[in-house]
Structure 1
């Protein structure tokens, strides 16, 4: 008997190679194939026997015409910078809405472009039917914020403790300095086809307790309502999430070529009702658990290092994610769900950071129709980081920091001041707050007034570090 017939069952990969598309029929096909295998059939003959059961290719889905599916705007224009920004947002959102799966869309007051035309903007929300679009939650999957009520703790002591335990910048923690990662969660990662690579599992261990770079931060302030100290962290799923995004985009591209070749690559989707879609949805939930654990690890380490007691509530919410409501998948790119029970751990309260010199808003979502049930995630920008640097002229980052954050304890983990994260790089906080109120997107319940914060800082690109090492 040939090797072809001994101990080698037919798998789903065989069926895919033979032209069968994953779906509800797969278990039946596999059972039939392996029954034939047990009778002594070889792979070539089994393939021939199943050839008649290859489903015909699905009809391709054409792009919608511009304006066919409208989107609501929850954003005002008060000066030329805002006019230019909103024009770009409208242009890219109009193109996004041509994607065949999209049923509704909205933009928030913090909206700004996030890539080539046709890329969902920051502050964008789209509802899709039977489709998960990896490009619409971006590589920073489950970027999120968490707050801990630290009672009457000294804000400086909290910020000092946090600076000693947190980790900013690229990469993960070195051996011997890593935080504990749930072995149970890692085991479940290994069971999911989107997360079971050795690299992803390794990063899940190395990146626990890290916050990355860019606009991620650790903020300490006081509640205006209670006077109690609070700490807020902002970061996403780091390396594990980026790896999931890359794999998800690869799978979505395969479906795009089959289902809608005209759709822009960044808007490719995975059908939710196929095996890959179910696995990807589960992978998103696992990445969410990892990210929440990451926030918790930093908060708890800070509490223990500062030897704090009198702890109050701790809650969190995400803004680069996909949420299922009824029969639609809602993609929030820099937008926060604002309806009751959007997740099992939802408290009804969410956070909206503005900039390092302004309060973090504690809000209760209003589930408005015009916002598709979402609220903003922050202040947003009217122009790019490079444009902000150009407008600084001869003013140094250090001078701008001193002028815009007077009286605050602002620290940059890498040492260098990242001017693109200073308040003047963002939209007017007062304007964003006014629009949240005027469009009914959220009800503000408290303000966490700033004491200080830690940012990643001006981190040199990884290729510069490599070049320096070679020298």
Structure 2
């Protein structure tokens, strides 16, 4: 113990003895306590004055205490197993103390250890942003451009020449321009002002990554006009924001709710960190939209399109504010009017490479918490799909499942886990969208062909090979 002016200095040990949980708030409490003491307030009165500022850890709810809406049906034994796992993870997820409501979509499937929000999952949280609930692929999104009566093959060829799939970014001399105002805004945000994030924001503009991201060309069933649709997220900048957000959320978790699963840690919105993180999400959204726009505009110019129509987009893997709640959609699409200032009322739901992309109008269904699906989802993992396909060659599978379509793998070999058999039945998903009243289908974009990354070796393996 130290003394100042004849008085014993109040330290963190005093606060712990008085029942305060250590945390980032401790320095301010200690400062306040010593200020009160310097003003002549006695120890017992100081202790009483600080009583109301105790941080009481939030405990998990009991299993089943808070239920969730199900917008999904079992149509196959694989569906039964999948739904069982989704229910198990949702029951644990709903124990998180910030959550007030939840729902699952027809495309629901597990996305991690039990308690992790599934793909096709939606939760509403109070005063909390959960980075783990939008995932590392922040603002994964789809954009469509009406290209008039342009030849689909010409469009696909043009798109292949300008887009970029696979790991990493574009080399010097092949990069797309990033708005200086957006880069300045990145520098002003503590979550984004990082040399690596700033570099990736430039290098990854005009790139689409790998996995289930795609560039799809087809024709509108309603008008016969050609359309191009892209699907990808915020790439490196978003992944770094997620990583930084999870680190900050973990600090809050240890202080506010140590029982909460690490993947469900949150940043309180009413803190400086919460406001900065919310602002960072909006900047990542702008960057991602600009990324889609860059690829679309480059394709339009390369293909010489003369009769371009409307262009619109929508995101999933994001957080949306509605009233005083924060809605986390993991692979779920907002379906209420005006969810964003650039919302058009139309959103896109891709199914698989051999099926149409749905153009829908959301119905703000209460059972979906105002969301609709983002795609078809899976009933089993990629590795399980590969195991089931061991007796067939990738070439034979591609021909059997996409005969007549122009399917290209831009950065690798055939990725069989992205073939239609890797996904749920598109027909069943569409039926459930209609039966649960999640959206009204306005149009179908029937496929001509698509581009995906393909079976790209993991980055760590490429780096290891490079060192050799």
Common fold by TM > 0.5: yes
- C-alpha change, 1:456 and 1:269, in structure 2 (3 Å) is same
| CA distance in 1: counterparts of 2:37 and 2:404, whole angstroms | 76
1:21 aligns with: 25
Q: Which of 343, 357, 360 is the aligned partner of 1:360?
A: 357
Partner-residue secondary structure (3-state), 2:78: helix
The CA deviation at 1:48 is 9.5
- C-alpha change, 1:70 and 1:162, in structure 2 (3 Å) is same
The question of whether the paired residues in 1 share the 8 Å contact of 2:220 and 2:443 is answered with yes
Q: Which of 111, 114, 117 is the aligned partner of 2:114?
A: 117
Q: Which of 306, 309, 321 is the aligned partner of 1:309?
A: 306
| Structure 2 gap ranges (5+) | 1-21
The CA deviation at 1:466 is 2.1
Moved over 4 A (4+): 45-55
| CA distance in 2: counterparts of 1:150 and 1:68, whole angstroms | 51
The question of whether the paired residues in 1 share the 8 Å contact of 2:332 and 2:373 is answered with yes
- Report Cα offsets for 1:128-168 as digits up to 9, x if no partner: 01100000000000000000000000000000000000000
Matched, 1:143 2:140: yes
2:319 aligns with: 322
- C-alpha change, 1:66 and 1:224, in structure 2 (3 Å) is same
The CA deviation at 1:462 is 1.6
| CA distance in 1: counterparts of 2:413 and 2:311, whole angstroms | 31
The CA deviation at 1:465 is 1.6
Matched, 1:292 2:296: no
1:431 aligns with: 428
- C-alpha change, 1:296 and 1:47, in structure 2 (3 Å) is farther
Spell out the pairing of 1:180-199 with structure 2 (5 A cutoff). 180-199=177-196
Matched, 1:218 2:215: yes
Of stretches 64-73 and 444-453 in structure 1, the one that deviates more from structure 2 is 64-73
Partner-residue secondary structure (3-state), 2:364: coil
Partner-residue secondary structure (3-state), 1:447: strand
The question of whether the paired residues in 1 share the 8 Å contact of 2:56 and 2:256 is answered with yes
1:15 aligns with: none
Spell out the pairing of 1:71-470 with structure 2 (5 A cutoff). 71-470=68-467
The CA deviation at 1:57 is 3.8
2:18 aligns with: none
Partner-residue secondary structure (3-state), 2:424: coil
| CA distance in 1: counterparts of 2:37 and 2:331, whole angstroms | 49
RMSD between aligned residues: 2.1
Of stretches 133-142 and 52-61 in structure 1, the one that deviates more from structure 2 is 52-61
| CA distance in 1: counterparts of 2:82 and 2:37, whole angstroms | 57
| CA distance in 1: counterparts of 2:416 and 2:96, whole angstroms | 36
- C-alpha change, 1:394 and 1:59, in structure 2 (3 Å) is same
- Report Cα offsets for 1:324-378 as digits up to 9, x if no partner: 0001000000000000000000001000000000000000000010000000000
2:4 aligns with: none
- Report Cα offsets for 1:255-312 as digits up to 9, x if no partner: 0000000000000000011110000000000000000000000000000111111110
| Structure 1 gap ranges (5+) | 1-17, 34-44
The CA deviation at 1:414 is 1.7
- C-alpha change, 1:427 and 1:56, in structure 2 (3 Å) is same
- C-alpha change, 1:261 and 1:49, in structure 2 (3 Å) is farther
- Report Cα offsets for 1:100-124 as digits up to 9, x if no partner: 0000000000000000000000000
The CA deviation at 1:46 is 9.1
The CA deviation at 1:468 is 2.1
The CA deviation at 1:97 is 0.1
Partner-residue secondary structure (3-state), 2:216: strand
| CA distance in 1: counterparts of 2:238 and 2:355, whole angstroms | 29
The CA deviation at 1:470 is 2.6
Partner-residue secondary structure (3-state), 2:108: strand
For normalisation by structure 1, the TM-score amounts to 0.90
The question of whether the paired residues in 1 share the 8 Å contact of 2:60 and 2:260 is answered with yes
- C-alpha change, 1:117 and 1:344, in structure 2 (3 Å) is same
Partner-residue secondary structure (3-state), 1:106: strand
